[in-house]
Every structure is written in C-alpha cells, then in structure tokens.
Amino acid sequence: MRVMVESRMRELRYREALREAMAEEMERDERVFIMGEEVGHYQGAYKVTEGLLARFGAKRVIDTPIAEEGFAGIAIGAAMVGLRPIVEFMTWNFSAVAFDQILSNAAKLRQMSGGQFTVPIVFRGPNGAAKQTAAQHSHAMETFYAQIPGIKVVVPATVADAKAFMKAAIRDDNPVLVLEDERLYGTKGEVPDGDHVEPFGVAAVRRAGEDVTLATWGKMLLPCLEAAEQLAKSGGPSCEIVDLRTLRPLDHHTVVESVRKTGRLVVVHEAWPYGGPGAELVDRVQREAFDALDAPVLRCTGRDAAMPYNKKLEDMTIPDAKTVLAAVRAVMAY
C-alpha cells in the first residue's frame, strides 16, 4: 500500500543516486549482487560503488579480473538460476568484448527456451565520450543495444531518474542496460525520499514550448536545455524538450503529442547519425504525425567518424548548444 505523505526531496549527485539505488535494492533482496572491474577495493573506477564493499562484503561486491565476456556470461548463468546480478562495465566501450553474451545469450534465453528461463540482470556503466579519450573509448553504445529485442535500454539524464530507473532495472525480470555518463556523475539534482521507481517507456517533458520540439536522451539533454534558454532570452523560437529516458521501450507517443503542438521536431543525440534509436523515432513520428509536421524532421547528431583525440576536433564531433541552435534555426527556416 502506498501511503501518501509529502515526499521530501534531497539533493544528491548522479553517482550517489545510482549507489543509493543499488544499496537499497541489495538491502531489500539478498539475491542482488554487484560484479565488475575495480568495483570493490578500488571503490569503483568512477566511484559509483564507493563504500559498498565495506557495507555488503566481498560475497556481494565482487572484483573481477579484466574478463568482460567471462564475467558477463557468469552473471547471465547465475541469473538464469535465480540470482539478480548487477554487472558494471568500467565503461560501455568494454561491453563490446561481452557483446556476444548480451546479444546471443541474455537477450535470447527467454525466447529460445520457450519462456522457461528469464534473465533478471542489470548491465551498467558510463557511456559515450568522456573527455579526449579518443577513438576506442568514446562510443555511444546505446545505438547498438537499442536494436535488440529481449533487452531494455535506459539512459537516465537526471539524478532522480538515475535512482528511480536503477531501482526499476534491478527489480525487472529482464536484462536491463543502464547507460550512464561520466560527465553526468558529478551533476546534482533533487531526489524524492523513499521507494520511488519509474516505469520504462514513459518519456518526460523537461521544458514546455510552442514552436519546436527537441527530443533527446542522456547527457544531450544539457545542450538542449542550454540552447532553449539562449533562444528564450533572445526572443527566438520556443522549444519544448522531451527526454526519452528509455530507448527500448521507446515512448514516441509523448513526442508525437508534442509535435502536434509545435509542428517541428529536431532529434538530438551523441551517437553516430547512421540508424539507431534517433532514426527509429523519426520513422515513427513521420508515420503518426505526418499531418502535423510543418517541416522535415531534422537530427543533430555526433559526426559520422571515429572520435578524434584533439580537443577542438572532439568538440566539433559531439553536439553542443551551438549545433543544436543551428538545427533549430534550420528546422524553423522551412
């Protein structure tokens, strides 16, 4: 039963919100454990799991060697027979080494066993470009994973979402991928007290506006907000911002509803422009809101290239407020 009390808010950092969510779920459910490189003694490469080894012990906070395919597979096997693992990838780039385990095993077990086995597992870690970490360490991996039926993909942009979706992911009976972001770990935000869980597949309108809809996820919410503020100050077009929050399931309905009001849509994401959830969203919106569109849907994306190390070039490769503004102007010019 839910008791309605005035929910109090506390300010946390993104990484603390993730940690709280995991700790609360570990308190609640003994089957939940964490496994990954440097999650224990080192307190997490990005300090997300700080303090958890001391609190829960080495049985439940497990340092692994560098063997992503091996420990991802071990966690999947353990989940098949009743445990509920949380697997940390030091960054999502390294999940490529475990891709076969996620694609061929985690995502497939339920279907190919005719529903006999479920895989209640969470894979999590920071995703996307950090800062000058170059070609092999800057992948926005959600674009690959969002294609796979059988798994869920979560990309929390706010601190409250980080906590609520992490809890939801741990409680879900399916493989859930939580793609966090190193550049968000230090951000602060309000988190409601108590046992707050968010449902997958419900986007959030982060800013109401009249003239153009910006649909985005994860860290790219920040340049969208910044661009919208700048436009508001300069008397430019008013932007409505939809944060998709989960990419599978993908809530295009909220975007369609917004487009019915604004008539224009720009999809903003860090991943490469070729295909992916951004293109999927465009496909759905043009079919369901064709009559409402006053302009073609545009996308503002990472450039179609490997990430360069040089800072200036890296900045040119990832969308920022400037490129979002340019896309808004372009879509308004129709």
Partner 1 sequence: MQDERDVLLGLYRQMVLIRRFEEAAAKAYSQGKIGGFLHLYIGQEGCAVGALAALEKRDYVVTTYRDHAQALIRGTSARACMAELFGKVTGCSKGLGGSMHFFDADNHMLGGYGIVGGHVPIAAGAAFASKYRGDGAVAVCFFGEGSATIGAFSEALGLAALWKLPIVFICENNEYSMGTPLERSLAVADVSQKAVSVGMERDRFRCTDVLEVRDRVAVAVKRAREKNEPTLIEALTYRYRGHSMSDPGKYRTQDEIDERKKLDPILHAEGALRAKGVSDDELAKVNASVEAEVEDCVKFADESAEPDESLIEAFNYA
Torsional class of 36: left (φ above 0), alpha (ψ -120 to 50), beta (otherwise): left
CB of 90 to ligand TPP, least distance (A): 5
Q: Where do the DSSP E strands lie in the chain? A: 9-13, 32-36, 61-63, 84-88, 122-126, 152-154, 176-180, 188-192, 204-207, 212-216, 239-243, 246-248, 265-269, 298-301
Rg (CA), the chain: 20
Q: Which is nearer to ligand TPP, 113 or 136 (CB)?
A: 136
CA distance 300 to 159: 24
Task: Give yes or no for residue 56 binding ligand TPP (CB under 6 A).
Answer: no
Residue closer to ligand TPP by CB (options 66, 313) is 66
CA atoms of 96 and 90, how far apart (whole Å)? 12
Known catalytic membership, residue 37: no
Scanning 132-140, 160-168, 273-281, 286-294 for contacts with partner 1 by CB under 8 A, the matching segment is 132-140
Stretch that binds ligand TPP, among 89-97, 157-165, 167-175, 218-226 (CB under 6 A): 89-97
Query: Which residues, in sequence order, are bridge partners of residue 122?
Result: 86, 176
Catalytic residue among 50, 137, 196, 288: 137
Instruction: Choose from partner 1, ligand TPP, none: what does 65 bind? Cβ within 5-8 Å by kind.
Output: partner 1
Is 190 labeled as catalytic in the residue annotation?
A: no
Picked from partner 1, ligand TPP, none, the partner binding residue 274 (CB below 5 to 8 A depending on kind) is: none
Which positions from 67 to 86 touch ligand TPP by CB under 6 A, shown as an x/- string?
A: -x------------------
Q: Where in 13-42 is the site for ligand TPP (CB under 6 A)?
A: 37
Is residue 70 near partner 1 by the rule CB under 8 A? yes
The first and second tokens of residue 53, run together, are 């080894």
For partner 1, the binding residue among 135, 186, 208, 334 (CB under 8 A) is 135
Residue number, 309 or 334, with CB nearest to partner 1: 309
Among 97, 232, 295, 326, binds ligand TPP (CB under 6 A): 97
Residues within window 169-198 making contact with ligand TPP, judged by CB under 6 A: none
SS (H, E, C) 116-136: CCCCCCEEEEECCCCCCCCHH
Query: Is residue 94 part of the contact set for partner 1 (CB under 8 A)?
Result: yes
Q: Cα(172)–Cα(109) distance, rounded to whole angstroms?
A: 15
For residue 6, the minimal CB distance to partner 1 (Å) is 41
- Give, in order, the Cα–Cα distances in Å from 328 to each of 25, 122, 197, 250, 315: 42, 36, 34, 23, 19
Q: Is 135 exposed, middle or buried (0-12, 13-18, 19+ CB in 10 A)?
A: exposed
Q: Which of 92, 94, 165, 217 contacts ligand TPP by CB under 6 A? A: 94
* Cα distance from N-terminal residue to C-terminal residue, the chain: 52
Cβ proximity to partner 1: between 209 and 319 the closer is 319
Q: How many CB atoms lie within 10 A of CB 57?
A: 12
Catalytic residue among 16, 25, 37, 68: 68
What does the CA dihedral 208, 213, 216, 221 come to, rounded to 10 degrees? -40
Catalytic residues: 68, 137
Binding residues (CB under 6 A) for ligand TPP: these are 37, 66, 68, 90, 94, 97
Binding residues (CB under 8 A) for partner 1: these are 37-38, 41-42, 45, 63, 65-70, 93-94, 96-97, 130-137, 303-306, 308-313, 316-317
